[in-house]
Chain A
Amino acid sequence: MSATARPALDAGLDAALDDARAAAESVCDPELPMLTLADLGVLRDVRIEDDGAVTAVLTPTYSGCPALAEMRADLDAALRSAGFSTVHVRTELSPPWSTDDITAEGRRKLAESGIAPPGRAPRRSGGPIPVTLTLGPRTTRTEDAVRCPRCGSPDTEETSRFGATACKALRRCRACREPFEQVKEI
């Protein structure tokens, strides 16, 4: 290999990596199809190995997330149809996924689709985790309140911590009275 061929080879690899990333990042989440896996923050890495294989790294949202196998199959299919013949989808468990990993773009798309994006995930220092005994619907009126995705009011309350999928809570807007879903902080 001559010294002058090197930049061209790197450029070829860079282009291939761009193609692989673009293909992987375009895959939509099976349960929140308005978001890509990149928006959701579950696509941790896309790289091209020395032997030309593409490796994509996924992390699960919840231990029991039934969509992980579907994500993996979709990612594999998208990379193959982008022309990569050898594709590995690896799963990475640590560090665990947090809703803080949802991108700003992802948050915007959620709100546009009528699903309130999550607030900041709780930060825990070491030691036992305190039990939360606050009862009743949690109403928030502060600056960082969960806003109604329809009317924008911060005057909303949680009606149930559990929704139609593991990642969503149910809320109600006290201003426009509409119920809505929220991706809950984890």
Chain B
Amino acid sequence: MTDDHVYLSLAEEHGDDTRWAFGTGFEDPLHGVDTTLPAGVDADELAALCLALADDALVAAQRLAQWVTLAPELEEEVALANIGLDLLGQARLLYARAGQAEGHGEEGKGRDEDALAYFRDPDEFRNVLLAEVPNGDFAHCVVKLLLLSSWRLAQLQQLTGHADPVLAAVAHKGVSELTYHRDHAAQWVVRLGDGTEESTRRTRAALAELWPYRAELYAAAPETRDEVEAVLAQVLAAAHLDATELDAAELGASGEATAQALTGNGRSGEHTEHLTELLAELQGVARSDPEATW
């Protein structure tokens, strides 16, 4: 870099391999990593697992990005954007790994991260429905983040022992990131749940709407249930919120969102129309001119 300023240096010539946006040849996030598939790992299973984890992260990151300019305070805007950036980084690494596994490690056979993120239709996405739930108020945001990050942290922690060293390494790095995502969400749920009459009302409403989505999370990763339930119980107790009321709400579920939460199956590609809208926004530029280079 000839200039000390990172953004000025972006304009410099770096040869063919430094690309900064879609269609400008953004570099492979696993560039220079030993990506050999280990013997004994089922490539198709690995591809499916990485794709599901990547889709959860990409869709959640897009919802967090939609908070930028709308968060209640500047610090929170920065926080949500930072969390989204971590998830986007995880998604890129996982898409790259999914593509390699899908191609059984053969050069040029699997899809690359751009193909997976920008050129799949909604029914090809494997994210859980909770990730695509449209944004509501700020209480809704932090409750959703608490559920998603508690669940993802439990999954990634278990994957640090995966037989694929690339997935294990991505998970290991992700664990330290998810730990502060979850702390951030949990602290806000306590602050709002145990706050003013209005903030408590909003937090309870968000919990009532989002609580039933846990069923899909546990169906997708049953081994996470005990840990996630323990964390949620601890946070609700600190916020002086009653979980038994929520379980009752789940049993007597009604309303569109709740019904979808109980019947949908994002891991099988059965999504709500909200994912279609989200992907239209996310993929629009890439699809409008797939051959574009900038």
A and B: interacting chains: yes
Query: In the complex the two chains form, what is the Cα distance from A69 to B10 in whole Å?
Result: 10
Kindly specify which of A5-13, A145-153, A156-164 makes contact with the partner chain: A156-164
Task: Flag whether B88 is at the interface (Cβ < 8 A).
Answer: yes
List residues of chain A with CB under 8 Å of any chain B CB: 27-28, 30-31, 33, 58, 60, 62-67, 69-70, 72-74, 77, 88-98, 128-129, 131-135, 159-164, 166, 170, 186
| SS of A interface (majority) | loop
User: A64 contacts B87, CB within 8 Å?
Assistant: yes
List residues of chain B with CB under 8 Å of any chain A CB: 1, 4-6, 9-10, 14-15, 17-20, 26-27, 30-33, 75, 78-79, 82-83, 85-90, 92-93, 150, 153-154, 157, 165-166, 168-170, 172-177, 179-180, 182-184, 186-187, 190-191, 227, 230-231, 234-235, 238
Contacts of B33 in A (CB 8 A): 90-93
User: B18 contacts A133, CB within 8 Å?
Assistant: no
| SS of B interface (majority) | helix
Query: In the complex the two chains form, what is the Cα distance from A92 to B169 in whole Å?
Result: 9
Query: In the complex the two chains form, what is the Cα distance from A94 to B168 in whole Å?
Result: 9
Contacts of B17 in A (CB 8 A): 73
| Distance to closest chain B CB from A54 (angstroms) | 13
User: A131 contacts B231, CB within 8 Å?
Assistant: yes
Given A96-B169, A128-B154, A135-B190, decide whether A161 and B1 contact each other with a Cβ distance below 8 A: no
| Distance to closest chain B CB from A45 (angstroms) | 12
Given A70-B9, A163-B78, decide whether A63 and B173 contact each other with a Cβ distance below 8 A: yes
Given A63-B173, A94-B165, A94-B168, decide whether A128 and B227 contact each other with a Cβ distance below 8 A: yes
5 contacts between A and B (CB under 8 A): A64-B87, A64-B88, A64-B92, A69-B18, A133-B190
